[in-house]
Structure 1
Amino acid sequence: MEGLGKMNSGQDTALVVLAFLQADCSSSEYETALLSLGKDLNLTRDINFNGPRKDVLDDGDLECDGHLPSSITAAIADLQPSVELQWPRNNGDAAALQQVAEELREIADQLEHNMVAQATQNLSRNISTSPTEHWKEHLTQEVERMIRRGVGLDHLPQERVIVALTLTLVKGVCVQTPRLLRNLFNTALQYLNPAR
């Protein structure tokens, strides 16, 4: 889709989509899939530096200098890292992309009250019985079906409504089935940026 505000590249689109999908994340399996995807796409960074420490030697002895022994570090290693999206360095561009993601979430909230649950079930059913290369067609059909039925948001820019609807459907399916996140994320990017 053309003209989504300040989104100049596929990377900007991926960042906005990931920001949208991360909002109000309540499922730990879904959150883990999002963290993995963001890390693989280099769109997130661990702000607590929870990665493995290579400079620590564990000799099994208790340390008396106030530093935690690495065995304690290993014991808490399963805690979820805190990550943040890597927004562009230009504050104006970052603010514009964050604003787009926020506007899309607001539209999606309005959509969810209308008819998204049924559309999410339809999309989930359709993609579960077809190969990945047909997912874009199923996503397109479901978005178009909902737009034809009317979503009651005629006062908003229709392009934004379509993007918010698309991302709401993707999130709905992925929250239910997190293992589909990576492929459905890529399908959404193809749908939103047909030139990719």
Structure 2
Amino acid sequence: MDDLGYLTSGHNVALVILSFLQADCGTSEYGKELLSLGKDFNLTRDINGPRPDDGGLETDGHLSSSITAALLDVEPSVELQWPRNHEEAAALQQIAEGLREIGDQFEHNVVAEATQNLSRNISASPSEQWKDHLRWEVDRVMRRGVGLEHLPQERVILAFTLTLVKGVCKRAPRLLRNLFDTVLQRFSPGDL
């Protein structure tokens, strides 16, 4: 994974976080919350929008826009708005993928227990304290050791944090927005 040097703006951090959280989300309530969040933060764009050839006649006599309209009801199609600079976009995608790989390693070791702890703690406290609960749970697990000491620790901490957030939000999608904001505060560009 490339270094975290491309995470110099809040927008890039939010983009990497959303990319991490979207992986394997399906079309559940959690997935719907992610789509809404991406739109609200202007991190996604609708790829079912009008195309230059929409409305044209297909060889079978049907209008191509009717196909697009039919698909709109099936599943929303959006994609993340990666930077136009291809090198920066590739680096951010590589960071997100590397974080997902680290997160997958966590899934087998410690995530279930830590997710339950975090979920219990944040459900019993106001959202202003969530950042502290999230930091405390990540620190607790990192002190315990996770077997990933060979990787750069800032990446491991970020991946573990995102894995915890994803685990909690899959169980309680209504918490996504507040936890997303909490992670953005925790990992603002100056903190990386």
Aligning the two structures, in what range does the TM-score lie when normalised by the shorter sequence? 0.7 to 0.9
Corresponding residue pairs, total? 179
In the TM superposition, 1:13-162 aligns within 5 A as 13-26=13-26, 28-49=28-49, 66-67=62-63, 73=69, 77-162=72-157
8 Å contact kept, 1:5–1:100: no
In structure 2, how many angstroms separate the alpha carbons of the residues matched to 1:110 and 1:160? 13
User: Corresponding residue for 1:185?
Assistant: 180
Alpha-carbon separation, structure 1, partners of 2:101 and 2:11: 22
Task: Specify the code of the residue in structure 1 equivalent to 2:184.
Answer: L
Cα deviation for residue 5 of structure 1 reads 2.8
Q: Indicate if the aligned counterparts of 1:17 and 1:167 stay in contact, CA closer than 8 A.
A: yes
Give the superposition deviation at 1:77: 4.8
C-alpha separation between the residues in 2 aligned to 1:69 and 1:191?
44
AA aligned opposite 1:120: T
- What is the distance in 2 between the residues matched to 1:21 and 1:193? 17
Contact persistence 2:10–2:189 (CA under 8 A):
no
Alignment check: 8 A CA contact 2:13 2:189 kept: no
Query: With structure 1 as the length reference, what TM-score do the two structures score?
Result: 0.84
Distance, in Å, in 2 between the alignment partners of 1:161 and 1:133 is: 25
- Give unpaired runs (5+ residues) of structure 2: 51-60
RMSD: 2.3
The gaps in structure 1 that reach 5 residues or longer are 51-64
Report deviation, 1:24: 1.0
Deviation of the 1:193 alpha carbon: 1.3
SS of 1:139's equivalent?
helix
Q: 1:68 to 1:162 in 2, by over 3 A?
A: closer
Q: State the one-letter code of the partner of 1:136.
A: K
Contact kept, 8 Å, 1:114 with 1:151, in 2: the verdict is yes
Cα offset, 1:195, TM superposition: 5.4
CA gap 1:107/1:172 in 2 versus in 1, 3 angstroms: same
When the two structures are superposed, what TM-score results if normalisation uses the length of structure 2?
Answer: 0.86
Q: Aligned with 2:4: secondary structure?
A: coil
Paired residues of 1:43 and 1:86 also in contact (CA < 8 A): yes
Q: Among the aligned pairs, what percent are the same residue? A: 67
